[in-house]
Amino acid sequence: MAEELDPFKIAQEQLDEAAGIMKLDKQAHAILREPKRVLVMSIPVRMSNGRTQVFTGFRVRYNDARGPAKGGIRFHPEESLSTVKALSAWMTWKCSLADIPFGGGKGGVICDTKKMNEKDIEALSRAYVRALGTDIGPEVDIPAPDVYTNPQIMAWMLDEYINIVRKSQFGVITGKPVEVWGSAGRMDSTARGGMYVMREAAKLLRLNPKKATIAIQGFGNAGRFAYTLSKEVMGAKVVAISDSEGAVYDQAGLDMAKLDEAKKKTGSVGGYKSKSARSITNDELLELKVDILIPAAIENQVRADNADKVNCKMLLELANGPVTPEATKILFEKKILDLPDFLVNSGGVIGSHLEWVQNITGDYWDTDVFYAKLDKKITKSFNDTVATQKEFAARGEKINPRMAAYIIAVDRVAKAMKARGWY
């Protein structure tokens, strides 16, 4: 029987497993299996060539029992409602595990920004916000950048929202440029948070960071910062990295300037040149013998058909949903420390919360203060997850880190719903 790879069904399967372990109330479980609100929008945009193109957009508010929905916006040619629903569910658990006053949300548009000029991307960004109207807001639903969106796109969206409500509500969107009250430190907060988790997990494994070898799948925002920060925070050596077109392995360690040069000249990091470097595939990267493997690209990369070939001590899920449920079980049996996405990449939403707080209060901090707050929050989430694993182990129940994190997150959301009288 083929493994289920539908993102939302995977998210539901993970929830169902956690609900069974924690004996979750059936009413709470039923509420949490489905999103609270789903918007599917037809978005006509007058393009720079004078023709009107119709795009399909989504915004899902999964659960707001603990606060306004929070979640990024993806511009991707293969975006789907199932993916957006799954990501909004994972955002719910991410915000809950981090113990910040947000619920889960997510958005996306089916489009290919690689085939669009800047004017058309701006027109689409503004049209998306007009389609949403007051379904977003600093106390309702707060978007942020995600795949193929960036601070500039957030600035256009912010401007369009302000034009709609006629109020300077900078807290409606996070991940903005600092010129329009984005936060110092927000740009690398996803990867930096992941590095703080890596640091704590290395202590748990008694792994010497300065001798550690790392392979990173993905050369986008998260992957690039993971490369830089793994050296800065950990002192580790990155020996492999990939993008959507190829990958490179160099046991001597990779150089960022050469990676950028290869990307510019050949269109892929796979074109990297050095005496000891060799081009490999994305699949080969996942199977390299390294201390730490960091999937930082897209979902469903480690599956039942390749999990037994993964050869690392720690798998750090910087992407959303890179490891399937069946693969999670295989990795746990192999005693690979697989740290779940909604713990590892929660630095992004923690950073967004810090930006939102600064927008709401008008009190802005420097980078050192931002990083210290991020470090404290995500380190507590890691320690809570480890403590929950130990708690179950003491009762004779072995659970993996993902289930430990789920139990914490789901319990908090369920208690909030109960207190508010939802069941």
Strand partners, 114: none
Q: Is 273 marked active-site?
A: no
The answer to whether the beta carbons of residues 384 and 378 sit under 8 Å apart is no
The answer to whether the beta carbons of residues 332 and 312 sit under 8 Å apart is no
| Residue entry with tokens 């420097």 | 366
229 CA to centre of own chain: 17
Burial letters 387-414, b for 16+ CB under 10 A, else e: ebbeebeeeeeebbbbbbbbbbbbbbbb
Distance CA 406, CA 403 (A): 5
Map residue 228 onto helix, strand or coil. helix
| Token code pair at residue 201 | 């997990």
| Token code pair at residue 155 | 């600035």
Q: Going by DSSP bridges, is the β-strand pair 314-316/292-295 parallel, antiparallel, or unpaired?
A: parallel
CA dihedral 383, 385, 386, 388 (to 10 degrees): 120
Q: Going by DSSP bridges, is the β-strand pair 278-280/237-243 parallel, antiparallel, or unpaired?
A: unpaired
The answer to whether the beta carbons of residues 129 and 123 sit under 8 Å apart is no
Nearest in space to 77 (alpha carbons), one of 11, 156, 147: 147
The answer to whether the beta carbons of residues 240 and 216 sit under 8 Å apart is yes
Out of 94, 106, 176, 313, pick the active-site residue. 106
Map residue 385 onto helix, strand or coil. helix
The answer to whether the beta carbons of residues 114 and 76 sit under 8 Å apart is no
Phi, psi of 174 (to 5 degrees): -115, 170
Map residue 333 onto helix, strand or coil. helix
H/E stretch holding 156:
helix 151-165
Query: Residue type at 197?
Result: V
Map residue 144 onto helix, strand or coil. strand
The answer to whether the beta carbons of residues 63 and 376 sit under 8 Å apart is no
Strand partners, 377: none
- Catalytic residue numbers? 106
